[in-house]
Structure 1
Amino acid sequence: MAKLGKKYQDALKLVEDKLYSTAEAVDLVKKTATAKFDETIEASIHLGVDPKYADQQVRGALVLPHGTGKTKKVLVFAKGDKVNEAEAAGADFVGSDEFVTKIQGGWCDFDVTVATPDMMGVVGRLGKILGPRGLMPNPKLGTVTMDLTKAINEIKAGKIEYRTDKAGNIHVPIGKASFDSAKLLENFQVLLDTLIKVKPATSKGQYMKSVTISATMGPGVHVNPSVKTSKAE
């Protein structure tokens, strides 16, 4: 078993074996972020769904009110006037077949792929490369669209994608340790509210089985999502 570092052990001492309110958890996780870099705060949520059934898969996208603290590089597949629109909206890379060739050659220096519907035939050639990386444009996520300005602005503003893994878990960033507690809390609450809204009708029993937030190098803090304040019920 790997030996735990001193900073991790010190942080672990701050965390009690209990469920914290969302506000308490956010305050505590900031205290456990003691690394020399600005740690990402991540939420890990185990949902009471069975993703092997299509009608119980939870997937979508949302815009965090205060972003993630990371600026994403956006690649847009477009042609004609849409090239100018994408560039004006702040896309990092815009083009067509030339990027297919680059990606097939191993280039992957971008975080999100957006495409207009008429370019999906071109993008489809990259399915085996982009698909496993979660980079394939998807109309359900707003990344296959004619409104490139809206899509790019949302991504740059802090749009994140969420998707259950095979075990029904969702892992997403909700900000940085340098964020003040109020901003982290609002981001976190928007995530929780969104997941509740998209609960599959076929999901039975407890939906949010466990909710945990943690800093990159810190221990997990278990959360009672129904308690939003630090005050006792």
Structure 2
Amino acid sequence: MAKLTKKQKEAQAKIEKDKLYSVQEASSLVKEITNVKFDATVDLAVRLGVDPRKANQMVRGVVTLPHGTGKEVKVLALVTPDKEAEAKEAGADFVGLDEFLDKIKGGWTDVDVIVTMPSVMGKLGPLGRILGPRGLMPNPKTGTVTMDVGKAVADVKGGKIDFKVDKTGIVHAAIGKVSFTADKIADNAKELLDTLNKLKPAAAKGVYMKSVYMSSTMSPSVQLDPKAV
């Protein structure tokens, strides 16, 4: 097992063993125990009491974080010419159609989110093997396939994220940066946790929210009290 550095030991010592923290306490503590020189990302890992292999227990959704993610999100709007101005005004970084489809065919995927229209989805189908593994395929369920292109772009730019439970029953999501105030981190965390609670599948039995951990890039994890979120 790798030895902990002095800073890692100091950070670990600030976390009380076996204590379950409130969202507010965890948000303050994560800021305190982060020692990297860059603006670290703050993450939540939520273990749910669901079986993701069963369609009626799949948990997937979108949430708009009140204070954004702190990350500059690059958006590509694949739209017809009549929607280009709307997408540009909303803040899309790249706007167009065929020229970008050709770039993607050539392996270009230097974007974080793709927004498109229902009429364009047919052209994106053949690109699924490129976009799918990178989580870039637009989906009506996450609001990225829509006629209201301007709103979709603005939402993504404003802090809207989508999440999905993985095969082990855990939802991972970035909820901000360590440079945020503790209050802003807590607000974003609560928004995600409230959204997850509302999405509890009727078929899920027993304890739904089993454990919640908050951490930042390279920091130890702080365990939250799942009954208090």
Q: Is the 8 A contact 1:66 1:183 kept in 2?
A: yes
Q: Is the 8 A contact 2:66 2:159 kept in 1?
A: yes
- Corresponding position: 1:207 with 2:198: no
Aligned match of 1:190: 191
TM-score, length basis structure 2: 0.96
1:133-184 CA-partner distances (Å, limit 9, x unpaired): 1110000000000001111111111111110110010110111111111111
TM-score, length basis structure 1: 0.95
Aligned CA RMSD, in angstroms, stands at 1.1
Q: Which amino acid aligns with 2:131?
A: L
* Structure 1 unmatched ranges of 5 or more: 229-233
- Corresponding position: 1:171 with 2:172: yes
1:183-205 CA-partner distances (Å, limit 9, x unpaired): 11111101110000011110000
- Corresponding position: 1:116 with 2:101: no
- Corresponding position: 1:14 with 2:14: yes
Q: Which amino acid aligns with 1:190?
A: E
SS at match of 2:228: coil
Q: Which amino acid aligns with 2:5?
A: G
Q: Is the 8 A contact 2:215 2:221 kept in 1?
A: yes
Q: Is the 8 A contact 2:210 2:226 kept in 1?
A: no
* Structure 2 unmatched ranges of 5 or more: none
1:79-129 CA-partner distances (Å, limit 9, x unpaired): 121111111111011111221221122211100011111000111121111
Moved over 4 A (4+): none
Q: Alpha carbons of 1:3 and 1:103: their partners in 2 closer, same or farther (altered >3 Å)?
A: farther
Distance 1:102 1:8 in 2: 43
Q: Which amino acid aligns with 2:53?
A: K
Percentage of identical aligned residues: 56
Q: Which amino acid aligns with 2:2?
A: A
Distance 1:5 1:164 in 2: 33
